[in-house]
Chains A and B, each alone.
Chain A
Amino acid sequence: MDTIIDRAPIKLPPESNCIEYTSKILQLLAGTFEKRRDSLVLDVGPVCNENIEFFARRVKRLYVCDIFARLDRAHRKGLKPDYVWRHLDYAPRSFDAINLWDLLEHLDDHDAKRLAEICCDMLKPNGLLSATAFEKKAAPREISSFVTGEAFRLSLRPQPRLDLPWYYRHNRALISLLTPLSVVKIFGSRIGIREFLFRHE
Chain B
Amino acid sequence: MFKQNRKTENDLKKNVENDSRTEPATVSKTTAGDSFSHGAIHSSEGEKTIIGEKITIEGSIRGTGNLVIEGTMKGIVDMEKHNFAVGSKGRVEGEIRAHDVAISGLLHGKVRALGKVEITKDADFYGEIKANSISIEDGAYFKGQIELDREPHVKKMPAVKQMTETESKRSQVASITPVEAGKGK
Chain A interface residues (CB < 8 Å from chain B): 27-32, 34-35, 37, 45-49, 52-53, 56-58, 60-66, 69, 87, 89-91, 94, 126, 128, 145, 157, 159, 161, 170-173, 182-188, 194, 197, 199, 201
Q: Does B175 contact A52, Cβ atoms closer than 8 Å?
A: no
B175 A187 Cβ-Cβ under 8 A: yes
Task: Tell me, in angstroms, the Cα distance from A200 to B172 when the chains sit together.
Answer: 15
Contact pick for B146, options A64, A66, A170, CB 8 Å: A64
Which of A46, A47, A64 is most buried by chain B, counting CB atoms within 10 A of its CB?
A47
A52–B136 touching, CB < 8 Å: yes
Chain A proximity of B125: nearest CB distance (Å)? 9
Residues of B close to A194: CB separation below 8 A: 180
Among B72-80, B100-108, B151-159, the stretch in contact with A: B151-159
Q: Can you identify 17 A-B contacts, CB atoms within 8 angstroms?
A: A31-B156, A31-B160, A47-B140, A49-B137, A49-B138, A53-B133, A56-B148, A57-B149, A65-B142, A69-B142, A91-B1, A183-B172, A184-B160, A186-B172, A187-B177, A188-B176, A188-B177
Do B160 and A29 have beta carbons less than 8 Å apart? yes
Q: Give the distance in Å from the alpha carbon of A197 to the alpha carbon of B81 in the complex.
A: 43
Known: A28-B160, A182-B169, A185-B160. 13 other contacts (CB 8 A): A29-B160, A31-B158, A31-B160, A56-B134, A64-B142, A65-B143, A126-B162, A183-B172, A184-B163, A184-B172, A185-B172, A188-B180, A199-B163
A-B contact count (CB 8 A): 134
Contact size class for B? 35 or more
- List residues of chain A with CB within 8 A of the CB of B2: 89
Q: Which residues of A contact B138 (CB under 8 A)?
A: 46-49, 145, 157, 159
**Is B22 close to A, CB under 8 A?**
no
Taking the closest CB of chain B, its distance from the CB of A30, in whole angstroms, is 5
A35 to B157 CA separation, bound complex (whole angstroms):
9
- Cβ contacts under 8 Å, A170 to chain B: 183, 185
Residues of B within 8 A of A184 (CB): 160, 163, 168, 171-172
Closest 10 A-B residue pairs measured CB to CB?
A31-B157, A31-B159, A188-B177, A183-B172, A56-B148, A170-B185, A57-B151, A32-B159, A171-B185, A172-B185
Chain B contacts of A28 at CB under 8 A?
Answer: 157-160
CA distance A31 to B136 in the complex (A): 25
Q: How far is the CA of A173 from the CA of B185 in the complex (A)?
A: 8
Q: Tell whether B46 is near chain A: CB-to-CB under 8 Å.
A: no
Query: B126-149 vs A: 1/0 string, CB under 8 Å?
Result: 000000011111111111111111
